[in-house]
Each structure stands twice: as C-alpha cells, then as structure tokens.
Structure 1
C-alpha cells in the first residue's frame, strides 16, 4: 500500500513538472516571437590603385560597408503580415575617433499578403532592385558605372504586386517636404516577367524634385533676421544635385540556369547619359567567378565624356557565414581632352551573422 501511494505521488509530481515545463516553454516561445531578429556583417577590404596619368596609391585596411540590423514580422490577421527592418552602419577599420553606429542604411515598415507588398521608409528603390544590377553586384565597386536615375532611397512608399502568370508590377513614390526645392513627388514605375530561366524587367524613374532629400545635396541655412524686434530664424534650403527632370528608362534581361547567370542592362536619360552593362557569373561549389563590362556615354550638350570599366571577381565561401574575395577593375575615363586609365586590385573579407 505504501509503495503504491509513493508511486502515485511520484507520478503526480512528474505530471505537474511536465505541465509546468510545457506552460513555461509556450510562454517563452510567445516572448521570443515578439523579439526582432538581429543580423549584421563586418566587411573589411584592402585596395591598390594605379592611374595613368596620375599617381599610384595603396588604400589601407578600410571598412567596406559593415552593418547591424533588426527585422521582425508577425501575422496581423490570416493572409496579412506586418514587418519592419532597420539597418545601421558602422566603421570596423578605425578605432581612434570612431563614433560607433555612425550612419544609416535602411529603415521601413510594411504589410504583405495576397495583394502584394507595400512598405514605407528608406530602402533600395524598386528601380534599383530590378534594373541597376551590375554596379550592385561587386563588393568594392569604386569604379563601376551606375544608372542616371536620381530618385533616392529615403522617404519612399513602394509596392510590388504578386506574380500573375509570371508578370509582376512595381512602383514607388518619394514623399518630399516643401523644404526640399518645392513639393515634387518623384516616382518610379515598372514591370517584370519571369519564366523558367529568363527574367525581363522594364522600368522608369521620373527624376522629379531634388536628390537632397535622400542623397545629401548641400543644404544652406539663411542667417537669422530681426523683424519689429522679433528674431526670425533663418530657413534651411537644400539645393538639387540633379541636372534635369528628364525620365530615366531602364531595361534588364537575365538568364540563369544551374550554375551560370548572364545579365544585361541598358539605361538612358535624355541630356544626361546612356549606360550599358553586361555581367556573367559562374558558380562552382563554394567558389564564384564574375566578369562584367560597363560603358557610359554622356548625352549632356557639349559633353564628350565616355567611361568604361571591366570588372573581375573571384569569391570563395569559407562557410555559410564567411567569405573572402579578390576583385580587379580596369577603367578608362575620356572627356574628349584627357584620357585616363585606372587599374585597381582589391582583397576583402566579409563575416555575416
């Protein structure tokens, strides 16, 4: 009888402990679901540059875009998910005078569901994501040639539709304040089509307004004035770093099959520039090899500027979290009077978590 009572007591205690542990685990899971995901990377690089005519120089160890970020998503209701992302930058190379988190990259809030995805804040624009591929592919990219679109990455409302038979539409509008050269609302529109190994994207950027709102054009504050004995603070005005508001049009066609990817792009903006880029990428196990050619010709009245860049990359993934790479750039800059050749070698390493 006593053994039976003891056994019953032990069993009851075990069940009670198991129930407590299960309840605690459920509460812990609920709390963890409320916590954001922390991620980031440290990127360091070394570069040597030769210029002809010009001087040769070796860049010491430099930060190449280290960041730390936070992201989170949750179900608002069945079929509707809310999400946020915030990404801050820091310099990993210098300790003396280092301000820690000293710059800003992305921050936005949004919702997604069967209707597509809408997000508001600062992020790479939908035009950049769909068209301007080559310049964003390489790690160091000091002499790569980007497109001439000027709607920046700040204060954007962006939308991407769901895929409908391979077709998807996307757009963005920048919400400018009256303090930034008027109250224009630059916008981007585009469509993409993906079927099997081929992706085609066509987009435009209105280039209205000022790039100052998100690309840091110069801002000047007028001196304070005194009116009827009252001090009136000076107003800050930001000048546009843009040259006109002609539209930029871009087309990108990409083919990807197994371990080979080829992508070509063409971008044009009247009275500014025409740009072409072509890249091929080959992956072999933990290794990646890339070769790209970019060309730009100025369309500005009276300008004879013409730039070209050949870029090479050999990248090796040491693990899921760390990779090292070597990049070489061969660039030519010709303004019709002066012709300069530039060669650059870059060694770098990145740890991602």
Structure 2
C-alpha cells in the first residue's frame, strides 16, 4: 500500500493510531485497544543540553457495532512526561502532571463519521499535518492541531467519494456566565470562554482529493473567529480567517509536498521531502514565513533508523537565520528514540 503522507513512519511516531494498537478485547460486535509511545530526546540549543519528552502518551480506543448498521467509537488519551516524576493532579510541583488529549466519542457509518470532544482540528488532520514531519524543531504553522480546536469541538467527515473527502469542524466557546470549565487551574483560567465573554462557535471546513495512490490535494478554511480564541489569533498577530492548501506526492520510496497557509498579512509555506533508504527515512523541511514586516526561512534535516517495527531512533538539525524564525539565529541539534505500540 502506498504512503499517503510524507515520511509516514515519522508521522506514526507523533500520531499513534488505534489501528496499530494492541487489542485488549475483540468480538464480533466490537473491540477495545491500547496504544501509546514513550519518546525521549537529547536537545542541544545554543550549547545547552537538555533531555526532554516528545509527546509520550498512553491511549485507549473502542468501537461497538450498533443494531442500526452504525458503529459507535470512543478514544481517550493521557499525555505524560517520562523524564520526571509525574503527579496525577493539576499544578503538580514537578510540572509533570498527566494531561488529557484526543479524547472523544462518536458514530460512523455509510454517511461518514461524526465525533465530539477534544481532538486536533480538521484543518490540521486533513491538510496541514502532512508538513509536520520534524520530531522536534523546524515546522511552523498558522493553524496547528490546537488552534481553534481541542476541547469541546464537534467534527463531521465524509467517507471517500470518488477520491474526495469533506470535513466540517465546530469549536464551542462558553460564555462567562457558564459553569462549564476544564476542571484544572483556577475556575477563571479553566473555562473555555470566548474573547468577548459571549457564547461563540468557530467554524472550520476542509476537503481533500486523491487523484491516485501517490498524488493528493487539500484545501481548508478556519474562521479564526476573533471572538472565539483570541490567544490563538494573537499568537499570529491576526484575526483574519486562515486559508490552507496542500499538495502531496508520496510512494514507498520517495515523498514531496507543499503546504501553504495565509491569514491576513501572514503567510507560511512548508516544503517537505523524504527518501526511504530501506532501514528508515531521510527527511527535510524548508519553512518560509512572511508577516508583512519581515520574511524568514527555517530549515530542518533529519534521519531515522528503525531498529524494530515499534522502536525507532532519530537525529535532527534545525536552523533559523533571521527574525521571523521559531528557531532563531541558532541551530538546534536533536537525537532521540521512541518505543511505540
């Protein structure tokens, strides 16, 4: 089967799927599985070394066939830091408390699927994620997985329709008068409230088209509602809607892709490529950004080695060269390893 994302083996490290999980229970009517990974890396930034976590997690997924031909499904995931002692409580002194991510429930069938809960935005999963190939630094985006998503979101995705897939996502922000909150931190800080204090819905829409097993295209729109998530919008300095487009060509041996994102005066372009050398992948990223004041380019280069199907080691270098950079004028060197199931 051909790969549908650049360096799919790399993406698997950062987005472990229940499809590759360990089955804990399975019957004719449903299943329940466990998945996860432990990933640590040594980072050298400006001569300073530190050992850090890279998305370690433990997750569970289940599905049950219903009498009406539909299938109900659920997913719940915990993130933790394996490099420190973790206290399972909010505001733990060691900073290593467990957090809940990618936790939702839904139903699927011939109509497609609909789910509600806490998950990455459809803009990210359907369009921009293909450029997120670096394990550590180098990749940047106006609409990453957590922008206008994660936490009280609803999403609908169609099944394949002659190569096309469509998605619609809605993020809900409660009013200041609502008692709803995340249950962590202070009541004021934990509430998923809007910028105005009123109840707000933020809308996203995306579509993809696969011409064949190798070539695919994507287009997405994020309302980026200025009354919805001001923190996300202000991080980019703009409240304008986010438009993203992608093209990706990938085979088992080679992959190349381009993701373009625009929001008002901001523009980001990520060009990616990868080559499979048999025991792993060599991959590269060029990230260009224009914020209407300055322009800049970040570079990333990495290689991984699959010592086993579920154990991978890797090394990366990320370089920035100007003001508009997530890396800065320095370089970041990373070596790491991940065990996943």
> TM-score higher than 0.5 here?
yes
TM-score bucket of the superposed structures, by smaller chain: 0.7 to 0.9
State the TM-score, normalizing by the size of structure 2. 0.77
Does 1:136 find its partner at 2:132?
A: yes
Aligned partners of 2:108 and 2:114 also within 8 Å:
yes
The answer to whether 1:246 aligns with 2:240 is: yes
Distance 1:155 1:74, change over 3 A: same
Aligned counterpart in structure 2 of residue 205 of structure 1, from 222, 235, 239 = 222
Residue 296 (1) aligns with residue 289 (2): yes
Following the alignment from structure 1 to structure 2, what is the Cα–Cα distance between the partners of residues 29 and 130? Answer: 30
Superposed CA RMSD? 2.8
Q: Following TM superposition, by how much is the alpha carbon of 1:38 offset from its aligned partner in structure 2, in angstroms?
A: 1.7
* Structure 2 gap segments, 5+ residues each: 1-23, 87-92, 177-192
1:98 is displaced (CA, Å) by: 4.6
Deviation at 1:136, TM superposition (A): 2.3
Please tell me whether residue 159 in structure 1 is matched to residue 156 in structure 2. yes
Once the two structures are superposed, what CA deviation does each residue of 1:90-137 show, in whole Å capped at 9, x if it has no partner? 111123855765222211001111100111111111101122235522
Counterpart for residue 117 of structure 1: 113
Query: Partners in 2 of 1:309 and 1:328 — Cα distance?
Result: 11
Distance 1:88 1:246, change over 3 A: same
Aligned pair count reads: 288
Moved over 4 A (4+): 28-35, 96-101, 239-244
1:157, distance to aligned residue in structure 2 (A)? 0.6
Secondary structure of the residue that 1:127 maps to in structure 2?
Answer: helix
Q: Structure 1 residues 293 and 30, CA, compared in 2 at 3 Å: closer, same or farther?
A: closer
Larger RCO: Structure 1 or Structure 2 (Cα < 8 Å, ≥ 6 residues apart)?
Answer: 2
- Which residue is equivalent to 1:255? 249
Deviation digits for residues 123-171 of structure 1 (CA, Å, limit 9, x no counterpart):
1111011222355221112x42212574132211101111111111111
Aligned mates of 2:332, 2:234 — CA distance in 1: 32
Bigger radius of gyration among the two: 1
1:175-195 CA distances to partner (integer Å, 9 max, x unpaired)? 221122322211111211102
Q: 1:246 deviation in Å?
A: 1.3
* Equivalent in 170, 175, 178 of residue 178 of structure 1: 175
C-alpha distance in structure 1 between counterparts of 2:201 and 2:124, whole Å:
18
CA distance in structure 1 between the aligned counterparts of 2:249 and 2:157, rounded to whole angstroms: 22
Residues 326/110 of structure 1: CA separation in 2 closer, same or farther (3 Å cut): same
Contact 1:145 1:295 in 2 (8 A): no
Secondary structure of the corresponding residue to residue 105 of structure 1: strand
In terms of fraction of residues, the more helix-rich structure is 1
User: Is 1:134–1:292's contact at 8 Å kept on the other side of the alignment?
Assistant: no
| TM-score of the two chains, using structure 1 as the length reference | 0.74
Provide the C-alpha distance between the structure 2 equivalents of 1:283 and 1:210, rounded to a whole number of angstroms: 42
**Which range is displaced more, 257-266 or 128-137?**
128-137
Unaligned runs of 5+ in 1: 1-27, 50-55, 218-238
Question: Does 322-331 or 244-253 show the bigger shift?
Answer: 244-253
Aligned counterpart for 1:277 among listed residues 249, 270, 274: 270
Provide the residue aligned with 1:61 in structure 2.
Answer: 51
